[in-house]
Amino acid sequence: MLPMGRIDVMMADDLERAFREKVAKKFGMRKGSMSLAIEEAIREWMKSEEEAKGPEEAKAKPPLEHMEEVAPPSVDFAREIVRASGENINKCIQCGNCVASCPSGRITAYNSRRIIRKASMGYKEEVLKSIDLWLCTTCYTCVERCPRKIDVVNAILTMRNMAVENGWMLEPHKVVSTNLIKTGHAVPIDQATRERRKDLGLGELPPTVHQYDGALFDVQQILKETGFCGLIERAQPQKAASA
């Protein structure tokens, strides 16, 4: 019988290019080479997942799942978001205008509509652990166009806050936050810029916390008081895989 399974995927351009090159090398440019290679790759991946689990568990599961397994919905999640953001995401009618307006959505699988859907249906872990939550540039185009006047950015930022509270954060962001705590600037000055400043006739250090230790101390107080330092300490960064 002919294989009838079909999956359409979006992937990083460079990954796609590299894969195609390898496929061409291994199977040649024949029709069906891609399907062959992809099936092989999937089977390899499935096998390694089973092996990682252990022989007992591997036996318990059938080889190919057709339904995604997700954590059971959390009844409170949507309510939490509504309360924390002041944004009623339950108003969403899933029209998709946000996705069509999104600059990230244009080039990745990031789908703001789906995130709001999953959030309002209570799929807390799936949403908060997803890297998709971090692909929004907060450009606000979706907010301007939403027919239900939902501030999508506000909802996403609230969910980001919730993710970080749970310790889920991206590695580079932990670095930026650490800089902020140490220097009072998310982007602190570097040697090259000090030189440039002198060259331009400006003070070597700008009149910010860089120059005023007392002010820096104040900033650090605030960051401690508001729990920011604690949050960053507790964060267990995920690998920022390519999206």
Q: Please report, as residue ranges, which positions from 60 to 79 form the binding site for another protein (by CB under 8 A).
A: none
Q: Which is nearer to another protein, 36 or 222 (CB)?
A: 222
Q: Cα(42)–Cα(34) distance, rounded to whole angstroms?
A: 12
Q: Is 90 or 108 the residue whose CB approaches another protein more closely?
A: 108
Q: Of 171, 178, 182, 236, which one interacts with another protein (CB under 8 A)?
A: 171
The Cα 210–Cα 187 span in angstroms is 11
CB 80, min distance to another protein, A = 14
83 touching another protein, by CB under 8 A: no
Our finding on whether 129 is near another protein (CB under 8 A) is: no
Alpha-carbon dihedral angle through residues 14, 16, 22, 28, given to the nearest 10 degrees: -140
* Closer of 42 and 93 to another protein (Cβ): 93
Q: How far is CA 150 from CA 10, 113, 158, in A?
A: 27, 11, 13
Q: Which stretch binds another protein (CB under 8 A): 22-30, 55-63, 118-126, 152-160?
A: 152-160
Residues 107 to 126 in contact with another protein, rule: CB under 8 A: 107-108, 111, 113-114
Distance CA 114, CA 66 (A): 20
Residue 135: how many other CB atoms lie within 10 Å: 20
20 binds another protein (CB under 8 A): no
By the rule CB under 8 A, 236 interacts with another protein: no
CA-CA-CA-CA torsion sign (76, 101, 160, 68): positive
